[in-house]
Amino acid sequence: MTDWVSISSLATAGGTLVLAVATFASVRSANRAARAAERSLMAGLRPLLIPSRVEDPAQKISFADDKWVVTPGGGGAAEVTDDAVYLALSLRNVGSGIAVLHGWLFSPERLLGATVHPPLDDFRRLSRDLYIPVSDYGFWQGAFRDPGQPDFVAAARVITARQPFAVDLLYGDFEGGQRIVSRFSFVPRKDDGWMGSVSRHWNIDRADPR
């Protein structure tokens, strides 16, 4: 005799299983689509800083003590007085989102090669917010104001001797995420100016591309 109760139970169980598999596949597909949409959105907010173009206009930059320096396109400024060391660099944002600068770290030598980025706690916070628009130029600035500080002494020494040095910049998107550390070098020109170059970028909040 045909056991219709058992057959009905099996059919119900089979239908439930098929529905569960379909639901699982649909959820996985929706999750993949959501992740792809999120990646696309984040890529649209992502900045990337490099030295500005040589043909970009010079920028006149003021410091808190009414000191002014001029950074030419593709270049920087580095000046030493008895009371302060002034640093500035002309930058261009080649990413797809506004760049918000967070901090900086000075090195008295030009750092080349495959090195890791320094700890984020070592970076000096900026005293004012600096923003660089998409596909546009802007600047970074920093200063040492304590002649007894080791970085002041080291910076004054290399600038006076016209030797290359490096500055790491920490920045991210306008929401405070997608942080990047970019390593820039100041290279002395034949005149009294400085040329800017970039040697490496590190992603902080996501995997590096290399």
**Domain harbouring 65, CATH code:** 2.60.40
Same domain, 113 and 177: yes
The tally of domains found in the chain comes to 2
Residue 128 domain boundaries? 48-203
- Return the pLDDT at 46: 95
Same domain, 55 and 101: yes
- Return the pLDDT at 5: 66
- Return the pLDDT at 183: 97
In sequence order, which ranges of 46-187 are alpha helices (DSSP H)?
A: 150-160
Q: What is this structure's pTM?
A: 0.81
Same domain, 70 and 137: yes
- On whether residue 115 sits in a domain, the answer given is yes
Same domain, 131 and 32: no
Per-residue pLDDT of the chain (210 residues; tens, 9 = 90+): 556 666 667 667 667 777 777 676 565 655 555 455 445 555 568 999 999 999 999 999 999 999 999 999 999 999 999 999 999 999 999 999 999 999 999 999 998 876 788 999 999 999 888 999 999 999 999 999 999 999 999 999 999 999 999 999 999 999 889 999 999 999 999 988 999 999 999 999 988 766
Same domain, 115 and 166: yes
- Return the pLDDT at 147: 97
CA angle (4 as vertex; 3, 10 as ends), nearest 5: 95
- On whether residue 208 sits in a domain, the answer given is no
Q: List, as own/partner pairs, every contact residues 141-149 make where C-beta atoms lie below 8 angstroms and the sequence separation is at least 24, other chains included.
A: 141/61, 141/63, 141/69, 141/86, 141/87, 141/88, 141/89, 142/87, 142/88, 142/104, 142/106, 142/167, 143/63, 143/84, 143/85, 143/86, 143/87, 144/84, 144/85, 144/106, 145/83, 145/84, 147/82, 147/83
